[in-house]
Amino acid sequence: MSEGVYGRVLVVEDEPTDAVVLDHLLTDLGAEPGSLIHTTTLAEAMSALAGAPTLAVVDLFLPDSAGVETVRRIRAGAPDLPLVVISAAAETETAVLSLQQGADDYLLKGDFDARALDRAVRHAVERRRLWTEARRKTLELERAERRLRAVIEANTDGMIIVDATGRIRFSNESARGLLSPEGRVLDGLHLGVPLAEGDDAVEVEGPEVEGRRPRLELRARRVDWDGAPAHLLVLRDVTTQRLLEERVRQAQKMEALGKLTGGIAHDFNNVLAVILNATEALRELVPQELNDARTELREIDASARRAAGMIRRLLGFSRRGYLRFETVDMRDFTQEAVGLMGRMVGDRIRIVAEIDDGAAEIRADPAALQQIVLNVAANARDAMPDGGTLTVRAGRVELEETHRARFPWVSPGVYERVSLTDTGTGMSDDVLERIFEPFFTTKGPDAGTGLGMAMVYGLMKQHRGLVHVHSQVGHGTTVDLFFPSANEARRPGRTPPVVASPSVEATGTETLLVIEDEPALRRAMERILTAAGYRVVLAADGREGLDRFRALTPEADLVLSDLVMPQLGGREVVAGLREAGSSVPVLLVTGYGAAYMDEIDDDGVTMITKPWSRESLLQAVRDALRRRDARDVSATPR
């Protein structure tokens, strides 16, 4: 059925005569009589809106509504409906109010004809169409803005618009979090104009949050903002990334230094072994009455031994020192260490110990552990020349993923922590960065060797632990030492027995094969061992050593071999001997220590560290032969 030129027309008129007039006018203009919907109250009109009329012709005064309220209610129910008011109210004010409340045109009863009504209806339809179109566009724009805002607000990068004077005009949530964690309004604040634009980032620091200033990457782009030139600043928090990069860089530096110092220490040990043994040999040759000469020899001997001590500390740093791991109770250890510290730091420094009941066991070398803690305590003492407090805390901590914010390089797990906090002078960032470097010291040439913290670093690594130093100039220093708990610590590799301090003269008549690439050391060993009664066969490297061994009849009683040699090393010599079916005991001579021994799992292998003395060498040889004899006896059936 056709709906006529106006479609479905809602006529809201309580005066029957007026309603009839309207009916006639509308049908004369082309409206379909069947499409006219008559209502006499506002309530009926509101119900009729459900029928989706295309035009409303409305009287203002109804039995249940009066004046512009009628317009307001119908408009609220049908925002897109063209609405013409036909009223007896002649006041301009009423007409204006009606238009403001949503009427599209206003006609005065008795003052219009069909033509005027047609014009008013067409005007209302067009006006409403334009209004509806504008509203649709506005809603679309609002939706688009909400989408864009959601993207910008959800961006983890901080985004800020600053105008040409550097004042903030817009900031997203991440920017507010970075620049104003306390929730201050950023808009209007004078941030500044970026010096450069483009893809290259510059690094800046943000405001302090919980004692930390975030490191931020800043990128700037020129943009138009409200028709004026402005800058979009993008801020990214790179604090954790920088910490990790710094840590990796530091680790690489320390690794390189470790290799360097380890290598130097190895060669130096060879030289020292020659000096010590030549000195010892000379002492026997120089007559007692040559006092001056004997004094000089003692000086040489003492100096060489001091140098050997330094080498031991260097080996500690380079993680090649020899450690004996055992289970250590951290409560007992810390209590003992606090006692030792008390004697070391003096009366002007008060020591406070806080040891958790939870503190438990670790796998550690007790002597090395003591060295670590006492070195840190010595630094604390030196940082408090006018006295102060040294607080020692021990307890179990579980480093979880969340701790990576502070220690991003740490594997999560259970650790026993020992913390030493002093109230001393503290350190600058520059000093902190170099604190573990060998020979770096702030104490002056006479006060420190610069090896203490280097050794702490190396020993902590050997314990598979980690050390973290936090310091601020004028506010003291805290050194946190984290050791993996005993049940989490991987057991170190088998450590070959090491000869104890020499006690008695150890001589013999057995045949010894000496494999040593350093000629001076080879000669010294030959001289000492021959003088002690042994039959000595020499070889300059591992390959020659194996050849000599095969040529010997009967078999040598003991093979002494340097561990690190250019040709076959000590490890390969042991393997060659075993492949040849020999169970001859081997005494490995090493300038490194246990780290190189992890892969040697052989009961017939013992070890002596360089620089050895005549006594310690003879003792080691004797002990190795004794072990062989004991093994042979236990293997003999009774």
Partner 1 sequence: MGDPAARFRLYLAGPGPRSDAVVRAVSAAGDKCYGSDAWTLDVVDVRATPEAARAAGVLLTPMLHRLTPEPGLRWLGDLSDAETLARILADARV
Q: Interface residues with partner 1 (CB under 8 A)?
A: 165-166, 179-180, 189-196, 202, 204-208, 213, 216, 218, 220, 233, 428-430
Work out how close the CB of 151 gets to partner 1 at its nearest, in angstroms, rounded to a whole number: 24
Q: Is 476 exposed, middle or buried (0-12, 13-18, 19+ CB in 10 A)?
A: buried
Residue 195 or 285 having the CB closest to partner 1: 195
Sequence-ordered list of residues with C-beta below 8 angstroms from that of 530, at least 6 positions apart, any chain: 536
Taking the complex as a whole, the smallest distance from the CB of residue 226 to partner 1 amounts, in Å, to: 20
Minimum Å gap between C-beta 429 and partner 1 is 6
Q: How far is the CB of 219 from partner 1 (least distance, A)?
A: 10
Q: Render 593-608 in DSSP notation, one character per residue.
A: -GGGTTT---TTEEEE
Question: Is the C-alpha dihedral spanning 379, 383, 387, 393 positive or negative?
Answer: negative
Distance CA 545, CA 556 (A): 11
Is the alpha carbon torsion for 284, 289, 292, 295 positive or negative?
positive
At a CB cut-off of 8 Å and minimum separation 6, what does 433 contact? Answer: 250
Dmax of the chain from CA atoms? 153
Tell me whether residue 209 or residue 575 sits nearer to partner 1 (CB atom): 209
What minimum distance in Å lies between the beta carbon of 363 and partner 1?
Answer: 40
Name which of 191 and 538 has its Cβ closer to partner 1. Answer: 191
> CB-wise, 168 or 597, nearer to partner 1?
168
Nearer to partner 1, 213 or 298 (CB): 213
Mode of pairing for the β-strands spanning 349-355 and 326-329? unpaired
Residue closer to partner 1, measured from CB, 67 or 192: 192
User: Smallest distance from the beta carbon of 452 to partner 1, in angstroms?
Assistant: 25
Cβ distance 33 to 27 under 8 Å? yes
Give min distance, CB of 167 to partner 1, in A. Answer: 9
Report how far residue 61's alpha carbon sits from residue 45's, in angstroms, rounded to the nearest whole number. Answer: 13
Smallest separation (angstroms) from partner 1 to the CB of 244: 19
Q: Decide whether 162 or 515 has the Cβ nearer to partner 1.
A: 162
DSSP reduced 3-state for 318: coil
Q: In angstroms, how far is CA 568 from the centroid of its own chain? A: 42
Is the CB of 425 or the CB of 606 nearer to partner 1? 425
Q: Nearer Cβ to partner 1, position 188 or 566? A: 188
Q: Which residues pair with 352 in a beta bridge?
A: 391
Contact call for residues 103 and 82 (beta carbons, < 8 A): no
Alpha-carbon span 10 to 57, nearest angstrom:
6
In the complex with partner 1, which residue's Cβ is closer, 189 or 293?
Answer: 189
538 strand-pairing partners: 514
Minimum distance between the CB of residue 179 and partner 1, rounded to whole angstroms?
5
Rounded distance, CA 463 to CA 326, Å? 11
Residue with smaller CB distance to partner 1, 207 or 519: 207
CB of 448 to partner 1, least distance (A): 23
Q: Tell me the closest approach of the beta carbon of residue 225 to partner 1, in angstroms.
A: 17
Helix residue ranges per DSSP H, 478-536: 519-531
- Cis previous bond, 181, omega within 30: no
**Which of 408, 426, 464, 7 lies closest to 246 in space, CA to CA?**
408
Nearest-angstrom CA–CA distance, 405 and 243? 9
Residue 384 beta carbon to partner 1: minimum distance, rounded to whole angstroms: 22
Closest CA to 478 of 335, 361, 377: 377
C-alpha distances in Å from residue 36, one per residue of 57, 506, 613, 636? 10, 129, 123, 124
Whether the Cβ atoms of residue 407 and residue 466 lie closer than 8 Å to each other = yes
Query: 611: part of which helix (H) or strand (E)?
Result: none
Least separation in angstroms between CB 467 and partner 1: 23
**Residue 480 to residue 474: CA distance in whole angstroms:** 19
Residue closer to partner 1, measured from CB, 37 or 238:
238
The rounded distance, in Å, linking the Cα atoms of 65 and 444 is: 98
- Please identify, using beta-carbon distances, which residue of 165 and 411 lies nearer to partner 1: 165
